[in-house]
Amino acid sequence: MAAELRRLRAAAGFTREEVTESTGINGATLYRIEKARARPQKRTLLALLQVYGASETQRIDLLAVQSGSHDQGWLRPYHSELPEEYTAYIGFESEARTVRNYESLFIPGLAQTEAYARAVIKGVLPTASHTEVEQRVQARIERQELLTKNGPLQLWAIMDEAAIRRMVGGRDVMLTQVRRLLTLMEEPHITLQVIPFGTGAHAGMTGNFVHMDFPDAQDPELVYLDTPAGDLFLEAEAEIRRYKSMFEHLQAVALGPSDTVGLLASVVAESD
């Protein structure tokens, strides 16, 4: 819905400021609606569709999305307690066709064991309560159902060797985690690569990112950044091209899948 509203506004030739002047909708509210960070009230949606000159078919389709947004299958009761940007990310991920994820220090979330996820969350959120930690762990494990459903999510994840060498949760937790990666690599829809320390400096050292595309060609591709200053969703074509190019560079410098299996197996052997 957010993507379609942005498209309709662009097609009508309006800036956000002009829409605010025409409808009285707060500019910050409009921004949040277009970034999928807030669900528009029905009257707000109707006002936007009228200004944009939406067709009857578009009105019917978007009103159906708006009225059904409370019942999204990915939304669990406790998700209301999670950060808004994270629940938005879960929603996008649940609808994605392909996820390409680069991680410099963490095992990718879709590949984490429960014990590793708990240790990571406790480590990066030292002030979080037990309930908050467990809610995040549960959300992370539930997300992994995307990899086992019919027509599973296609996952291509690249991580720096630091992610598999750091003793998150201790030796036993990491040993189980690395074995989990080896198991995942047996699946045809999952590709994992590791960038070894010997590679030296590389494009991913600036930080983690996730690139998603979707089954519907009308849905724009998306890049997600989890930063200390807040979560960002990027959809501008120039940004998408930049991160796609970065991922291609990382694919080129990382070990191929078979060599990655060899490295992971050696880590397990060292720990046994």
CATH assignment at residue 127: 3.30.870
Angle at 44 (CA atoms; ends 34, 75), nearest 5 degrees: 60
Structure tokens at 227: 């930063």
Q: Are residues 102 and 216 in the same domain?
A: yes
pLDDT per residue as tens digits for the range 75-124: 555 555 677 778 778 878 988 999 999 999 999 999 999 999 999 999 99
In one letter, which amino acid is 84? E
CATH number at residue 28: 1.10.260.40
Q: What whole-number distance in Å separates Cα of residue 27 and Cα of residue 120? A: 37
Nearest to 92 by CA among 236, 234, 241, 237: 234
Amino acid, single-letter form, for residue 148: T
Q: Please tell me the predicted confidence (pLDDT) of residue 80.
A: 56
Render pLDDT for 117-131 as a digit per residue (tens, 0 to 9): 999 999 999 999 999
**Residue after which a domain boundary falls, among 71, 99, 122:** 71
8 Å CB contact between 158 and 195: yes
pLDDT of 128-142, one tens digit each? 999 999 999 999 999
Rounded distance, CA 39 to CA 20, Å? 17
**204 pLDDT exceeds 80?**
yes
Domain boundary among 19, 51, 71: 71
β-bridge mates for residue 195, sequence order: 160
User: Which pTM value belongs to this model?
Assistant: 0.76
| Residue with more model confidence, 218 or 30 | 30
